[in-house]
Amino acid sequence: MSDLASIYLDNAATTPMDEKVLEVMLPYYKNNYGNPSSVHSHGRNAREALEKARKKIASLLNASPGEIVFTSGGTEADNMAICGAISTFGIEHIITSPLEHHAVLHVAEQVAKEKNIRLSLLECDAEGNLNLDQLALLLEKEPNSLVSLMHGNNEIGNLNDIERIAALCNKHGSYFHSDTVQTMGHYPIDLKSLPIHALSGSAHKFHGPKGVGFIYINKNKKINPLILGGGQERNNRGGTENIAGIIAMAKALELAYNNQASHAQEILQLKVYFKEKIEKAIPGVTFNGLSGNLDKSLYTVLNVSFPPSENNQGMLLFHLDLEGISVSGGSACSSGARLGSHVLNALQTDPSRENVRFSFSRFNNKAEIDHVVKTLAGLYQA
C-alpha cells in the first residue's frame, strides 16, 4: 500500500525504478566501473556485460544484437533515426504528424528547413486518428520518403497501426521509423515479423533508469551515425557507453517482457476502474483522443477533459499538486509551455475545459484511485 499523502499518476512522463533493476545497476557504479573500450581486465569485464545486455534486448525483441545501438534515451534515438536516414539515403521528403513527440516533430521541422526538404504532416480527426489513406497517396507520389510515426501517443494514448504503416512504407520503398517509447516493454514487439527500419526506446518508461535508451536499426537499412567520436557502438554512436544504465535497461525490459500479459491486465483494470469512478463522480467529463477507448489506446493513459469550474479556473493541476497528487496536463517536456499541449491543440479541444493526463503503472492501486477521485470530486463541489 502506498502513502496516500503522495500519489504518482504521471507514469507516461517517467516510471519509478524497479528495485530489482536498481540491484543489478549498483555494482557497475561501485566495483565493475571499467571502460568497455579498454583492453585490460576491468575494460573486458565491462565489455562482456555490455554485450550480454545487447544480446538480451535483441533476444526480447527478436532482433540481431548488431541491430541494437545504445543511446542516451529516446530523444537521441529519434534524432539519430531521422537525421541518419536523411543523410544516408538522400531523402527529400519527411512525413510525420502534428501529434508526434517534439523529439520527432522539432527535429523534422529543423532538418526540413536546413536542408530544404519537403515536410508533410498527416491530417487527423478530432479523436487523433491519422489519415493513413493520405499517407498512401503521399508515398505513391514520393516513394523515397522518410516516415516517422509513433506507436503510442504519450498524451492521448492513441495506438497507431504500425503494421499497416510499415507495409505501406515497404510497398513504396520508403524508410519507416517509429517512436515506440510509450509502448516498449508494455506491448510485444517482434522485429522479425514487423517490417520496420528503425524504432526508439527509453529505459525510464518501463521502470529502468533515466538517461539511457536504444535505437533498433534494421541490418539491411543501416544509417549514418548522429554522434561521431571514438567508434563506440560498432561505429554507430560515439561516446563511452553508460554501462550501469544499459545493464539496468536490459533487466527492466526483461522483467517487463516476462510479465507483460499480467502487468497489462493489472494496469488496464486500474484504468477502467478510474474511468468508471470519475464519470460517476463528476458529470460532464469526457476523454481526449482515443484514451477512453480501451481497445484503441494505451492501457497506461487516460486523458480526461473536465468541465469548466469556478473553483479551479485553470488551476486544477496546481490544486492536485497541493493535495500530493502528481499528474500532467500533457507531455512533461511541454508542461511549462505557455502555449499548452501541441497535441490537444491539434485536436482543437475546447479551451474552456481543463485537461489532465492520468497515467498508471503496476505500482499503483485502487486505494490511490479512490483517493484521487474523492479529491477531484471535492475540487468540483460548489
pLDDT over 70 at 336, yes or no: no
User: Which 8-state DSSP code applies to residue 219?
Assistant: T
Q: Report how far residue 306's alpha carbon sits from residue 210's, in angstroms, rounded to the nearest whole number.
A: 32
Choice between 4 and 41, residue whose per-residue pLDDT is larger: 41
- Tell me what pLDDT residue 226 has: 97
Q: Please state the rounded mean pLDDT for residues 160-175.
A: 98
Q: Report how far residue 214's alpha carbon sits from residue 191's, in angstroms, rounded to the nearest whole number.
A: 14
- Tell me what pLDDT residue 82 has: 98
Grid cell at residue 324: 500530493
pLDDT over 60 at 324, yes or no: yes
Grid cell at residue 186: 508494455
Choice between 10 and 3, residue whose per-residue pLDDT is larger: 10
Residue with cell 503503472: 361
Q: What does the mean pLDDT of the chain come to?
A: 95
Q: Please state the rounded mean pLDDT for residues 205-227.
A: 98
pLDDT tens sequence across 310-320: 777 778 999 99
Q: Report how far residue 210's alpha carbon sits from residue 15's, in angstroms, rounded to the nearest whole number.
A: 9
Q: Give yes or no for a contact between 277 and 139, defined as CB atoms under 8 angstroms apart.
A: no
Q: Please state the rounded mean pLDDT for residues 38-57.
A: 97
- Banded pLDDT at 1 (limits 50, 70, 90): very low
Confidence (pTM): 0.95
**Residues in a beta bridge with 146:** 94, 175
pLDDT over 90 at 335, yes or no: no
- Read off φ and ψ for residue 372, nearest 5 degrees: -65, -45
Choice between 24 and 340, residue whose per-residue pLDDT is larger: 24
Which CATH fold topology does 7-17+259-379 show? Aspartate Aminotransferase, domain 1 (3.90.1150)
Grid cell at residue 79: 534524432
Grid cell at residue 154: 504519450
- Please report which helix (H) or strand (E) contains residue 93, including its range: strand 93-96
In the chain, where does the domain assigned CATH 3.40.640.10 lie?
Answer: 19-258
pLDDT tens sequence across 121-136: 999 999 999 999 999 9
- Tell me what pLDDT residue 312 has: 73
Which of 65-96 are b and which e, b meaning 16 or more Cβ less than 10 Å from the residue's Cβ? eebbbbbbbbbbbbbbbbbbbbeebebebbbb
Grid cell at residue 182: 510509450
CB atoms within 10 A of CB 324: 14
Residue with cell 512533461: 332
3-class DSSP assignment, residue 216:
strand
* CA 375 and chain centroid, separation: 29
Q: Which CATH architecture has domain 19-258?
A: 3-Layer(aba) Sandwich (3.40)
Which of 97-121 are b and which e, b meaning 16 or more Cβ less than 10 Å from the residue's Cβ? bbbbbbbbbebbeebbeeeebeebb
Sequence letter at residue 274: F
pLDDT over 70 at 330, yes or no: no
Sequence letter at residue 189: I
- Give Cα separations from 220 to 88, 175, 197, 200 (angstroms): 12, 11, 8, 17
- Tell me what pLDDT residue 263 has: 97
In the chain, where does the domain assigned CATH 3.90.1150.10 lie?
Answer: 7-17+259-379
3-class DSSP assignment, residue 18:
coil
Q: Report how far residue 82's alpha carbon sits from residue 160's, in angstroms, rounded to the nearest whole number.
A: 19
Among 221, 243, 215, smallest CA distance to 30 is for: 243
Which of 163-196 are b and which e, b meaning 16 or more Cβ less than 10 Å from the residue's Cβ? eebbebbeebebbbbbbbbbbbbbbebebeebeb
- Banded pLDDT at 338 (limits 50, 70, 90): low
Q: Please state the rounded mean pLDDT for residues 101-118.
A: 97
Grid cell at residue 47: 565489455
pLDDT over 60 at 331, yes or no: no
Q: Give yes or no for a contact between 158 and 128, defined as CB atoms under 8 angstroms apart.
A: yes
pLDDT tens sequence across 249-286: 999 999 999 999 999 999 999 999 999 999 999 999 99
Return the active site residues. 333
